[in-house]
Structures are given as structure tokens and as C-alpha cells.
């Protein structure tokens, strides 16, 4: 049996459920191998459904123990139960109670969907469709019920028992057993169900909401790691306060719990009242976590908390609307982080990640609209497009209507849809209602896959002091953009020789924004006293690729003079990108000189920003800029030669920065943005010094490694050293492994650094690391650290001409598919770039993909990615 292309579920085929579930009463007895789930569902026919239709419940790998209807056992001829479904042929045409008992084995659950055990802790993951692995259910987001959950367990094995909502009571349940009863008053879809049972330590603190509720907030972690949970707890409190002031949203239960588990397929999950996290996004101490980890913890804690309104109180009608909660919630967490940190620096980080993950997706075989119209496996649509491009759409909406109208629209959206399962149309309707604007054309952003191109030409008429900008938009890969253009907000300004031109006027620009809503248009500025350089898409006002064709000199003017920090950074990136793809000695010297002036002027005034200016575009980003036949080796060479030269020319400045930013002895580590910014610039300086002079660099990095007092500096030094072959590197790597042998999250960093070494020896190294006692295929973080970092972060070795890099990843996908298809399928997406690679490398990739395809019984997750990638 060869794997078939899985069937598609289509948006246009959506219809309401024939039945609704008002109440769910669960009695769950936790047991390592035989957990009993006794579920009573209070159902009724849906007035919007088909009358007298059979009741069909979803299931995945379930075993039915018993079934009752309104208290009486079900006769065998009126229902059918299989591992994948339950059918009740003639349900009563009135409300009824269906009691179903199932039994599952949490220890054997390697897919980490449904109820499973992570390091002995019972936990659940139900989004998108894991609840059907716990009990038979209408497992769709538009069926909202009130849940009461009794959890029973062995007292020693699971002293802590957590569920959704508020704790009601707890007590003894016979010899050695105890129970806890939880009630969640807010109707919710099944994907938000969760429970946790285990030995856990906690840190907690109260929060008083603006509505006068005292919320007990807690973060639960492995016992002994409580001292690493404080930052996450602090982020919870700051998130709660921020959502009140920024969006007027208060928390709505008496408790808010965060639980960290070590085996988790994704980042975290917003279950009502009990957010379950990959421990990587909770645990932090200066010794084990980097500044980047702290920032990610803050962002993800906020993200999951913000879902309480954007996702839970207002949920999604169906999974096609996933961006309704994810795009919006990413936008909200980005705003939060921007308020907590430096807004321009954070914006640059957002765009870098959009370009690194979403642009390639949008340019490859896995491209899809922000609101997909069809899917075979929904778990494959938790993508950068849905999340990050989804967030960009919300941001553009705010830019178009302004912050006040945006806030009014959000209030309207929450008010109109509270307690409902909504759609993208409902979201836009709220903004249309408060502004009186027609947002139909804007809505095309949700439907159109692909990154639009914005081509701009400029003309200056000195005699008339007039400047004209001509815009043309296009959507590569589609023919229809002429008739139905996108609505693109272009934030812009003009920059003269000594700074922004303030006198210029243009009737089409309002509050610094021109809205392009036609395929082509020209705008005219008057009173332009000198020929300016246009600064377009300020703050990256739209997720498009800009063709503007500035000269290096014009770009250097933007770096030096623009008032928009994003475009200052962008200008340096643009120069560097051209130099990576098309090396040129003279232009490199000019660039180095401009960077030198920039560093002299302001490196120490805003170190975080300066570090970003020094960070050249990644190899992936450079590959994205090549039209076809990508040669990763040429890109790697171009980029490292540029780094080498910059490191040599800028050496004195970099040394000065290094010396100026030595941390004050005795001042304890603090993860705040300013301190992190100083560390990032000092580490960027070291890295460039090493690029310019590897011998000095290796010695210096080894020294830094020895004197580092925190993981940020230690890992940065190790990363610098990792690029310099030799004994120093190997010794440092070995010492690092010994030092952190008992720290799984730190070992992940160690695996990841080595997987990304851009040298031919890396494949052998990976083979050795897969044999390392600490390597395991059952922990998703570990697999992603080693194999994921290789596939996504080592372009030259992954795409080796002999195909051996592809083979390593393909073998891992094949080995993982039957135990954890979600993680396997995600890994497989690394092959999405094959069509754009040099022909012979692309052919090798296809060979590997066909090898996977020949495996019988592939999961739907992997089969779906495979079919689309080869498609």
C-alpha cells in the first residue's frame, strides 16, 4: 500500500454541525497505561443543522469501553464505534445526554497529541484535533461547551492536578488516590481543553485586574527548577497589565496557570486558564538562557496569554480562520514586546524573521493564502504565513485606519463576537462598522498567496522643484493582480543631503502614508528643493518586496540621514546583500567606510541597533534574492568574504566597541533590553573581528568563553569559535558539553551550534552526535536542535551537491514519521526550496523526496507536505 495523496477539506464546504454540545462532564482517572475517561456530553440538535441527522463523533485511535444514552446502556444496533469515529444512528430530536467511557495509554502516546506523558508528567495537547484522541467528540472549533473536569490520580505520582477554569474542590479518592475538580464557566471549543497531573514545583503571585478580580497566577515547573520560573511569571503579570491598558481586556478567571513540559511539539498552547508550554519558553536563568531566550519567553508568555481574548473568548468558526486568532495574537504580542523593549529594534527583528521564514514559504511549493481555502492536514498550516503574514495584515489595517479607529474596531470585534466562533469577515466587519470604510479590497490580503512586488521609479524636475514617484504592484505567479490589486500602505518620506526634507508636499500622502490601491499610480511632491532619496516602506509598512534600484551612495545617505530607523537598517542590508551576491572590492571599501562612520557616530548610543546594522543578511535571505539556480556555496563565499573584509577594515572601531562595552564587574546579569543590546553589540564586534582575523578571533573567543558570566556571552563566543576550524574549537565544544551535561536546554544549543557549522565535516559530526548518549528521537526539542538546525540553518551542507545532506534529513523524517508525524512533517518542509536550487542539487532533493514517498503507510502530515513539495 503506497501512500496516497490525502483528501482535501475545503472552506467552501463548511456547514454548521448538526448537533451542539452544551455541557461536558469529564471524570478522568490518570494511569500510566490505562487512563479512563468517563465523559458525559449534553447534546442537542443544532437549529442550523440537518434535522434528525445521525450523530457522528470524531475519534483518533480510541477504544470505547461503554456507552449510555440518558442513563441507559446503548443497544449495540443503534451505534457504531471504531478507533476513528462513533455514530449514533437515530439520536433523539431533543436535548440528550450521551455517556461514553474510553481508555487510553498516555505512556504509549509518542505523537504528543491528546493525553501523553512528558518526563512522567501527564499533560495534553488538543489543538488542532487532539481532543478526539481522549474521547469521542464533535471536535471542531464551532462547537462550544462548558466543561467540568474531575481528575483523579495516584497521590505520589501526581500530587498536582490542574484543569481548565477555576478549582472547585479537591480531596481524597481512596487509598493512595486523590482528586481535583475544575469548572470552566466560559464555553469553549475542545481544542482548548487541557489537564496536567504530576510532581511539579511552582512559583506564584496574585494579580488584581482592573475589574477588581484577584487572580492567582502560577508557573509550574519540574521540582528544583522553581528559580528559573520567575521571569516567565513576571512576563505573565506584565502581559495581564498590558492587555488592560493597550486593549482594555481583563482576565476572566480566578487562576491563571502556566505549566512547562519538556516534550512538546510546538512552542506553547493557550488552553483556557492553563497554558502548557515547551519548557524552552519558560525556564530561564542567566547561566542557562540567552538574551534571545528571555525575549522569546516574554513574547510567547504574552502570546498565549493574549489568546485568552483573541482565540478563546472569541474563537474561530473553522480552521480556515486560523489567522483570525494567530495573526491577530502575533500582532498583539509584537506590540507588547515593542512596548517592553526598543520599538525600532523589535520591528527589525520581526521583519528579519518574516523574511527568513515567511518569504521563502510564499515563494515555494508550500505557499498558501493567509486564509487557506483547502487543507489535507490542518496541523501543517501553523505556518509563518498564517502567523507572521497574518500579523502583518493586522498591522497594515492599523496603518490604514489609524490607531484610534483601530482600537475602536478591536473593541467592537470583541464586543460583537464574545463567546462566538468567528470568521475573518466578522473581524473586518468590526472595522468597517467603526470607520464606515469598505474593506473588501483590503481583504484580498487574506486570499492572495505570494509576496507582492512593488516597483518604484523616481523622477526629479529641479526647475519645477517637483519630484514624482511612480508605483507598480505585481504578484509573481498570478495573473489576476491587474484587475484586483492589493491595498498597500506605503509609509514614506524624502531624504535630502543633510536630513529629511520637511518642506515637500504631496496631496496623496497622509500622515506619512501613501495608500497604493491600483496596479499602477504616480504621486507628485511639490516644493522639493533638492533631489531627494526616497525612503519607502518606512517601518516596513507592508510585507512586499521593493524594487527601487537605489545606488549604494543613495543607500548610504539613508543610513546616515533617514529619520526612520528601519530604513536606515534596511539601507545597509541592501548594500550588503548586493555585495554578497555580486562581490566588488571598491564598493566593499566604500561600504566599510560608511559603516565606520556610522559606528563612530552612534554605535554606543544605541548598541542594539548598531548590532543589527552589523549583522549582514543571512545566506537564506541572499538565496531568496536570487531568481533561480541558487548556488549556496557561492552565497556562503560571498557572505564570508564580505565579513572578512569588514572585520579587517573596521578592526580598530570594533576593538574600541569591545573595550567600551566590557560589563562592569560585580553588576549582576539583567535580561533587560538595554543590557542585552550592549551584549549583542559587543558580541557582534567580536564575531566580525574573528571573521577578519580568525587566529586572533579564536584566541579571543576562547578567552571570552572562559570569562563569560552568563549564557548569552558564552554562547556567542562559542558560536564565533564554531566557525574557526581547529583544536581550540573542539576543546571548547567538549568542555561545554561536560559543563552542561545535566542541562537539556543548554545541550540543545550545543547540538544546534555544531549542526550549523558550514564545513564538509559537519555531516560526520552529525552522525556522531546522533550516537551521543544525550541524543534522542523522542524529544522534539532535541530533534529540532540537531536535525532541524542542520536542515534550516546550514544551507551549504544541507544542499550538498552529492545529496548526502538531504539524505541525512530524509532519513530522520522517515524514522520519525510513525512515532511523531507532526515533527517529521515540519522537518520535511526544509525541502521546500528545492526548485530554486541549482538543477543537480534540486534533482538530488527530489530523489530523497521520492524515497520517502515510497515508504508504505506514511502519516497524513508527511504525505501532505510531500505531495505539495513535489507537486
User: Judged by CB, which is closer to ligand ARG: 394, or 432?
Assistant: 394
By CB under 6 A, is residue 852 in contact with ligand ARG? no
Identify the CA nearest to 189 among candidates 142, 136, 122.
142
Binds 555: which of Zn ion, ligand ARG, none (CB < 5-8 Å by kind):
none
By CB under 6 A, is residue 269 in contact with ligand ARG? yes
CB of 385 vs ligand ARG, minimal distance in Å: 14
**78-86, 262-270, 711-719, 733-741 -> range binding ligand ARG (CB under 6 A):** 262-270
Which position among 379, 588, 756, 781 is part of the footprint of ligand ARG (CB under 6 A)?
A: 379
Residue whose cell numbers read 540621514: 561
Q: What string marks each residue from 306 to 345 as x (binds ligand ARG by CB under 6 A) or -?
A: --------------------x-------------------
Binds 557: which of Zn ion, ligand ARG, none (CB < 5-8 Å by kind):
none
Binds 220: which of ligand ARG, Zn ion, none (CB < 5-8 Å by kind):
none
By CB under 6 A, is residue 31 in contact with ligand ARG? no
CB of 300 vs Zn ion, minimal distance in Å: 9
By CB under 6 A, is residue 382 in contact with ligand ARG? yes
User: Judged by CB, which is closer to ligand ARG: 91, or 821?
Assistant: 821
Residue whose cell numbers read 538562557: 289
User: Judged by CB, which is closer to ligand ARG: 326, or 552?
Assistant: 326
User: Judged by CB, which is closer to ligand ARG: 329, or 712?
Assistant: 329
By CB under 6 A, is residue 296 in contact with ligand ARG? no
Which one from 127, 304, 377, 619 is the annotated catalytic residue?
304
CB of 335 vs ligand ARG, minimal distance in Å: 16
Peptide linkage before 128 cis (omega within 30 of 0): yes
User: Site residues for ligand ARG, window 52-111 (CB under 6 A)?
Assistant: none
Asked if 240 contacts 216 with a C-beta cutoff of 8 angstroms, the reply is no
**56 alpha-carbon distance from chain centroid:** 34
**Backbone φ, ψ for residue 318 (5° rounding):** -155, 170
User: Judged by CB, which is closer to ligand ARG: 222, or 270?
Assistant: 270
Torsion of CA 266, 271, 274, 280, to 10 degrees: 10
Burial of 709 (0-12, 13-18, 19+ CB in 10 A): middle
CB of 826 vs ligand ARG, minimal distance in Å: 8
CB of 37 vs ligand ARG, minimal distance in Å: 21
By CB under 6 A, is residue 266 in contact with ligand ARG? yes
The residues of the shown chain that bind Zn ion, judged by CB under 5 A, are 326, 329
Asked if 193 contacts 270 with a C-beta cutoff of 8 angstroms, the reply is no
Asked if 100 contacts 67 with a C-beta cutoff of 8 angstroms, the reply is yes
CB of 446 vs Zn ion, minimal distance in Å: 17
- Distance of alpha carbon 321 from alpha carbon 663, whole angstroms: 48
CB of 415 vs ligand ARG, minimal distance in Å: 23
Asked if 85 contacts 58 with a C-beta cutoff of 8 angstroms, the reply is yes
730 is catalytic: no
Residue nearest ligand ARG, CB atom distance:
382
User: Judged by CB, which is closer to ligand ARG: 31, or 127?
Assistant: 127
**Backbone φ, ψ for residue 856 (5° rounding):** -70, 145
Q: Round to the nearest angstrom and report the end-to-end CA distance of the chain.
A: 20
Cross-strand pairs, 861? none
- Distance of alpha carbon 1 from alpha carbon 834, whole angstroms: 27
Binds 58: which of Zn ion, ligand ARG, none (CB < 5-8 Å by kind):
none
By CB under 6 A, is residue 270 in contact with ligand ARG? yes
CB of 466 vs Zn ion, minimal distance in Å: 48
Identify the CA nearest to 298 among candidates 832, 596, 673.
673
Residues 6+ apart with CB under 8 A from 669: 286, 675, 709, 710
Binds 149: which of Zn ion, ligand ARG, none (CB < 5-8 Å by kind):
none
Burial of 261 (0-12, 13-18, 19+ CB in 10 A): buried
Which position among 268, 690, 763, 785 is part of the footprint of ligand ARG (CB under 6 A)?
A: 268
- Distance of alpha carbon 702 from alpha carbon 714, whole angstroms: 9
User: Judged by CB, which is closer to ligand ARG: 195, or 769?
Assistant: 195
By CB under 6 A, is residue 162 in contact with ligand ARG? no
Asked if 366 contacts 828 with a C-beta cutoff of 8 angstroms, the reply is no
By CB under 6 A, is residue 388 in contact with ligand ARG? no
CB of 266 vs ligand ARG, minimal distance in Å: 4
User: Judged by CB, which is closer to ligand ARG: 379, or 829?
Assistant: 379
- Residue 50 C-alpha cell reads as 440537518
User: Judged by CB, which is closer to ligand ARG: 61, or 157?
Assistant: 61
By CB under 6 A, is residue 820 in contact with ligand ARG? no
Render 663-731 in DSSP notation, one character per residue: PPTTPPP--SHHHHHHHHHHHHHHHHHHHH-HHHHHHHHHHHHHH--SHHHHHHHHHHHHTS-SHHHHH
Q: Strand, helix or coil at 182? A: strand
136 C-beta neighbours (distance < 10 Å), count: 26
By CB under 6 A, is residue 128 in contact with ligand ARG? yes
The site that binds ligand ARG (CB under 6 A) totals a number of residues, namely 11
Chain residues in the site for ligand ARG (CB under 6 A): 127-128, 266, 268-270, 303-304, 326, 379, 382
Which residues belong to the active site? Answer: 304
Amino acid at each position: 500500500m503506497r501512500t496516497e495523496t490525502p483528501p482535501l477539506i475545503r472552506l467552501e464546504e463548511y456547514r454548521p454541525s448538526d448537533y451542539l454540545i452544551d455541557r461536558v462532564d469529564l471524570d478522568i482517572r490518570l494511569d500510566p497505561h490505562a487512563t479512563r475517561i468517563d465523559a458525559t456530553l449534553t447534546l442537542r440538535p443544532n437549529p442550523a443543522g440537518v434535522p434528525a441527522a445521525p450523530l457522528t463523533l470524531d475519534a483518533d485511535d480510541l477504544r470505547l469501553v461503554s456507552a449510555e444514552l440518558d442513563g441507559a446502556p446503548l443497544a449495540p444496533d443503534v451505534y457504531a464505534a471504531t478507533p476513528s469515529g462513533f455514530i449514533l444512528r437515530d439520536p433523539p430530536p431533543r436535548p440528550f445526554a450521551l455517556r461514553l467511557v474510553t481508555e487510553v495509554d498516555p505512556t504509549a502516546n509518542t505523537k504528543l497529541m491528546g493525553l501523553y506523558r512528558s518526563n512522567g508528567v501527564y499533560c495534553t495537547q488538543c489543538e488542532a484535533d487532539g481532543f478526539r484522541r481522549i474521547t469521542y467528540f464533535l471536535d471542531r472549533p464551532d462547537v462550544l461547551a462548558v466543561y467540568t473536569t474531575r481528575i483523579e490520580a495516584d497521590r505520589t505520582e501526581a500530587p498536582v492536578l490542574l484543569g481548565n477554569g477555576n478549582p472547585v474542590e479537591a480531596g481524597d479518592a481512596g487509598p493512595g488516590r486523590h482528586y481535583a475538580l475544575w469548572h470552566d464557566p466560559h464555553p469553549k471549543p475542545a481544542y482548548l481543553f487541557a489537564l496536567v497531573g504530576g510532581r511539579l514545583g511552582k512559583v506564584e503571585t496574585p494579580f488584581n485586574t482592573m475589574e477588581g478580580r484577584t487572580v492567582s497566577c502560577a508557573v509550574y515547573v519540574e521540582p528544583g527548577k522553581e528559580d528559573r520560573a520567575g521571569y516567565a511569571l513576571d512576563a505573565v503579570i506584565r502581559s495581564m497589565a498590558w492587555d488592560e491598558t493597550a486593549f482594555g481586556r481583563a482576565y476572566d478567571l480566578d487562576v491563571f496557570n502556566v505549566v512547562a513540559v519538556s516534550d512538546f511539539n510546538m512552542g506553547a498552547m493557550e488552553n483556557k486558564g492553563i497554558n502548557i508550554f515547551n519548557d524552552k519558553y519558560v525556564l530561564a536563568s542567566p547561566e542557562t538562557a540567552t538574551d534571545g531566550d528571555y525575549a522569546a519567553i516574554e513574547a510567547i508568555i504574552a502570546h498565549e496569554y493574549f489568546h485568552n481574548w483573541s482565540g478563546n473568548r472569541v474563537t474561530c468558526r473553522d480552521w480556515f480562520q486560523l489567522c483570525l486568532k494567530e495573526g491577530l495574537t502575533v500582532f498583539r504580542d509584537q506590540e507588547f514586546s515593542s512596548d517592553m523593549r526598543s520599538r525600532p529594534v523589535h520591528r527589525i527583528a520581526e521583519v528579519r524573521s518574516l523574511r527568513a521564514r515567511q518569504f521563502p514559504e510564499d515563494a515555494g511549493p508550500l505557499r498558501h493564502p493567509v486564509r487557506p481555502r483547502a487543507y489535507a492536514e490542518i496541523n501543517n498550516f501553523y505556518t509563518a504565513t498564517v502567523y507572521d503574514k497574518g500579523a502583518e495584515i493586522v498591522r497594515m489595517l492599523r496603518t490604514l485606519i489609524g490607531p484610534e479607529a483601530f482600537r475602536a474596531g478591536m473593541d467592537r470585534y470583541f464586543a460583537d463576537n464574545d463567546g462566538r466562533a468567528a470568521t475573518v469577515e466578522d473581524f473586518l466587519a468590526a472595522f468597517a462598522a467603526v470607520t464606515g470604510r469598505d474593506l473588501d479590497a483590503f481583504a484580498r490580503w487574506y486570499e492572495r498567496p505570494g509576496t507582492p512586488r512593488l516597483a518604484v521609479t523616481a523622477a526629479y524636475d529641479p526647475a519645477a522643484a517637483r519630484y514624482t514617484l511612480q508605483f507598480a504592484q505585481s504578484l509573481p505567479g498570478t495573473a489576476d493582480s491587474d484587475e484586483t490589486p492589493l491595498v498597500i500602505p506605503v509609509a514614506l518620506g524624502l531624504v535630502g543631503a543633510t536630513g529629511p526634507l520637511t518642506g515637500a508636499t504631496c496631496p496623496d500622502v497622509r500622515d506619512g502614508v501613501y495608500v497604493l490601491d491600483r496596479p499602477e499610480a504616480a504621486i507628485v511632491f511639490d516644493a522639493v528643493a533638492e533631489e531627494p532619496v526616497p525612503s519607502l516602506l518606512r517601518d516596513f509598512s507592508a510585507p512586499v518586496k521593493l524594487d527601487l534600484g537605489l545606488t549604494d551612495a543613495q543607500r548610504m545617505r539613508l543610513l546616515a540621514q533617514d529619520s526612520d530607523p528601519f530604513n536606515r537598517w534596511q539601507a545597509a542590508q541592501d548594500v550588503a546583500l548586493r555585495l554578497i551576491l555580486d562581490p566588488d572590492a571598491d564598493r566593499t571599501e566604500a561600504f566599510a567606510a560608511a559603516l565606520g562612520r556610522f559606528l563612530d557616530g552612534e554605535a554606543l548610543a544605541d548598541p542594539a541597533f548598531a548590532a543589527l546594522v552589523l549583522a549582514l543578511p543571512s545566506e537564506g535571505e541572499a538565496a531568496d534574492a536570487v531568481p533561480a539556480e541558487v548556488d549556496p556555496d557561492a552565497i556562503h563565499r560571498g557572505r564570508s568574504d564580505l565579513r572578512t573584509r569588514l572585520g579587517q577594515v573596521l578592526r580598530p572601531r570594533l576593538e574600541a566597541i569591545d573595550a567600551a562595552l566590557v560589563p562592569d564587574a560585580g553588576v549582576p546579569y539583567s535580561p533587560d533590553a538595554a543590557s542585552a543590546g550592549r551584549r549583542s553589540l559587543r558580541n557582534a564586534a567580536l564575531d566580525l573581528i574573528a571573521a577578519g582575523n580568525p587566529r586572533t578571533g579564536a584566541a579571543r573567543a576562547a578567552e571570552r568563553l572562559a570569562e563569560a558570566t552568563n549564557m548569552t556571552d558564552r554562547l556567542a563566543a562559542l558560536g564565533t569559535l564554531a566557525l574557526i576550524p581547529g583544536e581550540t574549537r573542539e576543546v571548547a565544544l567538549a568542555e561545554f558539553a561536560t559543563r552542561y551535561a545535566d542541562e537539556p536546554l543548554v545541550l540543545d544549543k550545543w547540538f544546534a551550534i555544531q549542526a550549523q557549522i558550514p564545513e564538509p565535516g559537519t555531516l560526520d559530526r552529525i552522525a556522531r552526535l546522533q550516537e551521543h548518549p544525550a541524543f534522542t528521537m523522542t524529544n522534539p526539542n532535541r530533534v529540532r536542535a540537531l536535525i532541524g538546525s542542520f536542515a534550516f540553518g546550514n544551507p551549504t551542507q544541507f544542499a550538498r551537491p552529492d545529496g548526502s545532506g538531504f539524505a541525512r534529513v530524509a532519513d530522520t523524517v522517515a524514522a520519525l514519521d510513525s512515532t511523531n508525524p507532526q515533527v517529521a512533517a515540519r522537518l520535511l518542509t526544509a525541502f521546500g526550496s528545492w526548485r530554486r536550487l541549482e538543477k543537480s542539487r534540486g534533482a538530488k532533493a527530489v530523489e530523497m523526496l521520492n524515497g520517502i514517498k515510497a515508504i508504505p503507510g506514511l502519516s497524513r502530515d508527511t504525505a501532505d507536505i510531500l505531495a505539495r513539495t513535489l507537486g
